Amino acid sequence: MLDRLTLEQFADVRGEPIVLETAQGDVVTELVASELLSSPSPRAVPPFRAVLRTPAGWQGGQGIYRLRHPTLGALELFLVPIAQRDGRLELELVFN
């Protein structure tokens, strides 16, 4: 299923809550950005990235997390912290 996810699917849920499952419990994040990537990827769909923003004060490292959303379903994805804005961590997902 991961190889069929598209930018459009993520763009359609921008601003909606996405639950991130962690060892400390569920964290409600928000999809704040998604964009195409320039890459010679062999994927059937164009590569893209998406950025989630966590609640203020939440800290987590890079790794595989389970995400849940009513439209996207349950996904296990590798997330990388990329920025801290107003006390909120931003996590990047890359589909390449």
Residue ranges and CATH numbers for the domains of the chain are: 2-82 (2.40.30)
Among the residues of 1-96, which ranges form H helices?
7-11
pTM recorded for the entire structure: 0.88
| CB contact at 8 A, 74 and 68 | yes
pLDDT classification of 41: cutoffs 50, 70, 90: low
pLDDT digits (tens, 9 = 90+) for 55-91: 999 998 999 999 999 999 899 999 999 999 999 999 9
Contact 62, 82 (CB under 8 A): no
